[in-house]
Amino acid sequence: MKYDKENRTFDCAPTLTDSQVLEFCRSGYVILEGVVPDEINLRAIEYLEGRLPANPSYIPEGMTTEDLERIRNATNSTLLLEDWFIEHALLNPQLTGVLRSLLGRHIGLPILVSHHRAQCPGPPQNWHQDHDCIFGPEVNFVEVFYYPQDTPVELGPTGIVPESHLRPQPWHAGDKGIATAAPAGSLIVHHQSILHRKGESTIEGVRHMLKYNYWRTVPPKRDWIIEPDFDFQTAYYGGHQLSRYIAHMFYWLSGKGDEFRLIGGQAWPHVHSRQIARSYGFEETEGYLPNWTQTWGYEYTD
Ligand SMILES: [Fe+2]
């Protein structure tokens, strides 16, 4: 792993395969359970609760220690300047391999932290897609939730809805949600447009959750772990109303976004386990792009 402190970027070997990158395009998330060491989780909680003095590795240009104090009091984004947090949380080895697979080389580190502190017990939030999210094939950044403490269902872990990052969603799509209950030190890597909410909590305590984004700095290309027998024509991209978006995203990530065309119906990227020959429509040069602004309607059935 190479960390470029001056540019706040890193580079390392990718760890996801073709199938796993496609799985991220399909589901919109990857969960890394308990990957941040306990000592760092405890230190993060001490920092978030104001018991650990700040020790920034440097003062960003144009800022003062008063600025950092103001930022710490508001969002705790100053955590991003602590050496121990950079080394073990931001540059966590399991995480960096996943990010390198999805965002290419020389990945930009987060610049802002959202600290979600919840006094429990408490009611759930409404399901929502965050402000400023977009829908399109590009994966120019990914978002991470970090749980510094054990976050069982009773402590209201964030709920997410698999496959909901591809289009604007109606409120009832939350029926498909899952709780990201996970042990301390877990990282939930996800597409920022995913439908989500703070879960209902039923026990006494304080839940901390940190949210931040990692950034692409290079054009996309298929430089993750190539599977020799991976076949773009027969790969499973998802069900009705979804496969075209997922395939477009996977093509964009592969550096082939410009080559993507649809002819519709049963044609590729629709692939069914019961068909008796390869799908028509693969590598068409004439055709259509998915309509990424189309909202869900009555057709939301599976
Ligand atoms: Fe949110």
CA distance 247 to 244: 5
pLDDT at 297: 52
**How many whole angstroms from 212 Cα to the centroid of ligand 1?**
12
pLDDT at 70: 96
Domain annotation for the chain: domains and CATH numbers: 2-215 (2.60.120.620)
Structure tokens at 173: 């799509």
CA distance 267 to 252: 19
Q: Which residues of 266-282 are buried (b: 16+ CB within 10 A; e: fewer)?
A: ebbbbbeeeeeeeeebb
**How many whole angstroms from 193 Cα to the centroid of ligand 1?**
9
CA distance 202 to 2: 43
pLDDT at 296: 60
Give residue-wise pLDDT tens across range 200-238: 999 999 999 999 999 999 999 999 999 999 999 999 999
**How many whole angstroms from 126 Cα to the centroid of ligand 1?**
9
**How many whole angstroms from 196 Cα to the centroid of ligand 1?**
6
Q: Which positions of the chain have pLDDT values less than 70?
A: 296-302
pLDDT at 300: 45
Angle, CA of 148, 151 and 154, to the nearest 5°? 155
Identify residues whose C-beta is under 5 A from ligand 1, the ion. 130
**How many whole angstroms from 197 Cα to the centroid of ligand 1?**
6
**How many whole angstroms from 299 Cα to the centroid of ligand 1?**
25
pLDDT at 298: 42
Cβ atoms of residues 99 and 142 within 8 Å: yes
Cβ atoms of residues 79 and 43 within 8 Å: no
Q: Look-up: residue for tokens 């600025």?
A: 67
